Amino acid sequence: MLTQTLVATALLLSARVASAQSVGKMLVNDVKNSGGDALAIWTAPFSASSHDWLLAGAAAGAFGISMLVDQPVSNWAVRNKDSGFFKSFDPVRRGGKAYTGKTIVPPVAALYVTGIVLKNQNMRDIVTGCATAWLAQSTIRKATYLIVSRERPDTSPNDPHRWQVPGDWNNWQKHSFPAGHFANAVSCATYWNERFNLGWWGVPVYALAGAIGVGRLADGGHWMSDTVIGGILGYAVGREVARRSLERYERRNDDNRRAEVILTPDRGGTYFGFNITF
């Protein structure tokens, strides 16, 4: 009974608060928040602290160390690409049903539309946060292609050090660095885990992201070090977008949570009361 009461109360409160929002306002706010989050990611180096630069240096070190195993890992993955282990990743590998975004876009779009209809901000945040993280880190990756290019393992199977400066925007086979599919998956997985505190539910979410990264090794799409730096990029961006989204969530709660003392004349006397809105 208590649970039913709480749920009913929550629905009534959410309906009262959300009713003031028009569809247009919700769309404008979502776009504004996403744009602000992406811009904050892109301009982060200009406001980075010494701690941030230390983490960036650690990421560069991890990338450098992982380069030592690029060739042996690639050889192992390609040699065993048809094994049962790698076959289990077929849906997210090249040519698989979930390799591109075509399969995930319809349900994600439906979820966002449902969030608009129900005027549910959290439901919309599930979609917009992932999309923002994807956009933010994808832009960084694509800018990297203009600066430096690296050939994929299936193009240069015996030489992981085929780099080119400046980069090559048009040649997809030179976009090995950093790993794009893996960065996309990790950025969304991290956002969802950090923003909604998934707990144990975060395990399968990260496992799916990991399967995408491993599958790309077997496809000869990326070297191990590309996968490492792609994962770091996705994690950092997803976590920052989640942090900013949580701040907005807490501000919304603060705006809707207030307490007041009521002192007013009532039938020749005075009415005294205490009202809490949450």
Q: Residue 184 has which token pair?
A: 């996309």
Q: Is 15 within the bounds of a domain?
A: no
Q: What is the pLDDT of residues 105-127, one digit of tens each?
A: 889 999 999 999 999 999 999 99
Burial class (CB in 10 A: 0-12, 13-18, 19+), 217: buried
Please list the pLDDT of the chain residue by residue as tens digits (278 residues).
433 433 333 333 344 344 457 888 999 999 999 999 999 999 999 999 999 999 999 999 999 999 999 999 999 999 999 999 999 999 999 888 888 777 788 899 999 999 999 999 999 999 999 999 999 999 999 999 999 999 999 999 999 999 999 999 899 999 999 999 999 999 999 999 999 999 999 999 999 999 999 999 999 999 999 999 999 999 999 999 999 999 999 988 775 554 444 444 445 554 545 444 44
Rounded Cα distance, 214 and 224, in Å? 9
Q: Is 268 within the bounds of a domain?
A: yes
Angle between helix 202-218 and 180-196 (nearest 10) = 180
Q: Is 128 within the bounds of a domain?
A: yes
CATH number at residue 132: 1.20.144
Which domain covers residue 101, as residue numbers?
21-277
Phi, psi torsion values for 165, nearest 5 degrees: -130, 125
Q: Residue 194: which residues within 8 A CB-CB, separation 6 or more?
A: 238, 239, 242, 243, 246
The pTM score is: 0.83
Rounded Cα distance, 187 and 25, in Å? 27
